[in-house]
Structure 1
Amino acid sequence: MLQKSLIRRLDLITLQLFVAVHEEGTLTRAASREAIAVSAASKRLMELEEALGISLFVRQAKGMSLTPAGETLLHHARQMLFNVEKMGLELGEHSHGVRGYVRMLANLSAIIQFLPEDLRDFSERHPQVKTDLEERPSAGVIQGVLDGVADLGICSIDSDIKGLHSVLYRQDKLVVLMPPHHPLANRSSVAFADTLGSDYVGLHAASSINMRTHAAAREAGKVLRVRIHVPGFDAMCRMVQANMGIGILPQRAYELFGRALGLHAVPLTDEWSDRALILVVRDEALLSPVSRMLFEHLRGIN
């Protein structure tokens, strides 16, 4: 009975309003954002709660917050709205000769090191498939795939994938980036603990490399002396060139950015410096045909 009631009474405008109330915190701001009268918005929410038979919000003097049931609906509502938007994009692309549309999230390491060539090869084989790629830290990639924001993602293997299906994508090696005059520059390899006497140029706080290096410093009983945080590997190379500190980045990123600046890279001996990147999806069996083609292409590279 509940299922029939939902089919008859649940609509996309109400779902979009529900998400807006959560994001804005108040019914008034959500109604303004969705260009709907406050009274009409209130009625829609009441009818939604009646159809579900549960309360979705805790109404407080300073705003509205989700109940546990509301949190559950939020996940499904966002996924439904994403699927509708994706359907519209894919159907619209057909008028321009595009036969498929894939949304993808990936961390910085994957985008800088491997995806340009891998996606180029895929595009050459399937020129009528359009790929939308967005950079996020590994944790953001996982959450985005869980929320249905993307069809597939690439993240670090040491991330909590929260039940997503995963397969190996690529492997990389972390190195210490430094100016040629640095005391460690003439070494063939170095333990991370031996670098902790130097100032560091760190990546943004949410990056897997930043979190792993801080954890390794704690394990060594020391503090990572981060002098400045930067958003990407190219910025790290420039800061190291300017003698702001040393940094940790993948070997291939050094070859792309650091070598041309006259910087040195010394491989780390620590076990965690040999990394793997993985492909994650909610359910491989539920991928669209074009998403499955890209998934199979990427996992077949290694």
Structure 2
Amino acid sequence: MSLARQLKLSHLRLIRAICQHRQLGLAADSLAMTQSGASRMLSEIEKIVGEQLFERQAKGMVPTAICEALERRAHSILLDLDDLSREVDELRNGETGVATVGSVIGATLAYVIPAVRQLKKATPRVTVQLNVETSHDLMKGLVEGRNDFVLARLPPSFDVNEFEVHEGRSEIQNVLVGKHHPLADAGEVTVEELAAYEWVVHTTREPIEEASDYSLSDSVGLLGDTIITTSELAMLAIVESTSAMTLLSSEVTSFLTGPSIGAKFRVLPLRGPIQLPPYHLVQLKGRQLSPAGRRLKALVMTQLGIAP
């Protein structure tokens, strides 16, 4: 029978302890064993191996070449087990692992990023995956298991009864234009004036469609002349260099035009706010999050002012 089937972890610990202390009594004490118990176990190990493992000399117990080979392997195996034990504890306590959150862009800037920073400060070994997409794609990713939880609006194509929903926040949209836009310095802009200019949007019309459905007059024809791009950088470049405009969350426009970035865009002063339906914190019912996912969710809920 092979050594792998017969040697136990307690055998490996004793071999390592004797090699470290060179005295059976000290090795036994370090393992909380009696010396007689350690002696019996050493005899058992030598019987399994079929060789004497230590030479008794005046200066102590000197390992044989076979024993040194065993001790090297024992040391490596026991270190790996210690690392495994620590990793399991960290995973159990949410100190490592992966947390995946999906969010619409406004909620990302306002609530998710501050929560992620708190999580990383407390548990730097946790990996966070942040997916910023449309509400439909976020909900699809949630159902498919690609998101632990999301901050998204609930599209009508999804059954709300399948989800655990915590009410979130409404989202205000701003119209962003370049500094040379004809309306850049206007005192107040009406919805009707917006219809005279083209729009540029990132990938999907979802924000503009929702603003049109819920906040703007259907007669304006807001969606008539639109450029759609997969590049956010291209979208901003078009807005900056043409008379096109785009619709972005107030958190994004504040970030772009604020002192940290200082981009030379203008937010048009509209007569009335453009408000989207609220987004919510959504999780699949019955979905058990990882400890890291639970910690991140709790931090996001705190940012939103939602009681756990």
- What's the TM-score once normalised by structure 1's chain length? 0.58
Deviation sequence 1:16-58 (CA, Å, 0-9, x none):
xxxxxxxxxxxxxxxxxxxxxxxxxxxxxxxxxxxxxxxxxxx
- Choose from 210, 213, 224 the match for 1:212: 210
Bigger radius of gyration, 1 or 2? Answer: 2
Match of 2:146, SS state, is coil
Q: CA contact under 8 A between 2:142 and 2:150: conserved in structure 1?
A: yes
Q: Which runs of 5+ in 1 are unaligned?
A: 1-90
Query: Shift in Å at residue 217 of structure 1?
Result: 6.7
Number of matched pairs: 211
Give the alignment partner of residue 148 of structure 1, picking from 129, 145, 148.
145
The answer to whether residue 87 in structure 2 is matched with residue 94 in structure 1 is: yes
Matched-pair contact (CA < 8 Å) for 1:99–1:129: yes
Q: Give the superposed CA RMSD.
A: 3.4
Runs of 4 or more consecutive aligned structure 1 residues displaced over 6 Å after TM superposition: none
Match of 1:134 in 2: 131
Alpha-carbon deviation of 1:105? 2.2
Q: 1:165 to 1:139 in 2, by over 3 A?
A: same
Percent of paired sites with the same residue? 17
The 8 Å contact of residues 151 and 281 in structure 2, kept in 1 or not, is answered as: yes
Residue in structure 1 matched with residue 235 of structure 2 by the alignment = 236
1:257 maps onto 2:250 in alignment: no
The superposition leaves residues 231-281 of structure 1 with CA deviations (integer Å, 9 ceiling, x where unpaired) of 355443221111151111112212323563322102445565255332110
Question: Does the 8 Å contact 2:192/2:220 carry over to 1?
Answer: no
Q: Given the superposition, is the C-alpha separation of residues 300 and 96 from structure 1 closer, same or farther in structure 2, using an over 3 Å criterion?
A: closer
Compared with structure 1, are the counterparts of its residues 103 and 190 closer, same or farther at alpha carbon in structure 2 (3 Å cutoff)?
same
Counterpart Cα distance in 1 of 2:89 and 2:241: 48
| SS of residue matched to 1:300 | helix
Q: Displacement, 1:212?
A: 1.9
Once residues 132 and 223 of structure 2 are traced to their aligned partners in structure 1, the CA distance between those partners, rounded to angstroms, is 26
| Alpha-carbon distance, 1:197 to partner | 1.1
The answer on whether the counterparts of 1:198 and 1:225 sit within 8 Å (CA) in structure 2 is no
1:273 to 253, 272, 275: 275
1:198-248, Cα deviation, whole Å (9 max, x unpaired): 11112222x531332454677125252334223355443221111151111
Distance 1:265 1:223, change over 3 A: closer
The aligned counterpart of 1:290 is 292
Match for 2:151: what amino acid?
I
Are the aligned partners of 1:189 and 1:266 in contact in 2 as well (CA < 8 Å)? yes
CA–CA distance in 1 between the matches of 2:110 and 2:129? 18
Q: Residue 153 of structure 2 contacts residue 280 of structure 2 at CA under 8 Å; is this kept in 1?
A: yes
- Supply the distance in 1 between the matched residues of 2:109 and 2:233 (Cα, whole angstroms): 10
Correspondence for 1:106? 103
Amino acid at match of 1:208: E
What is the rounded CA distance, in whole Å, between the counterparts of 1:285 and 1:247 in structure 2? 37
Tell me the amino acid that sits aligned with residue 281 of structure 2.
L
Q: CA deviation at 1:196?
A: 0.8
Task: Give the aligned residue type for 2:104.
Answer: N
Report the Cα offset of residue 123 of structure 1. Answer: 1.6
Q: Structure 2 length as normaliser, TM-score?
A: 0.57
Q: CA deviation at 1:287?
A: 3.1
Q: What secondary structure is seen at the aligned counterpart in 1 of 2:197? A: coil
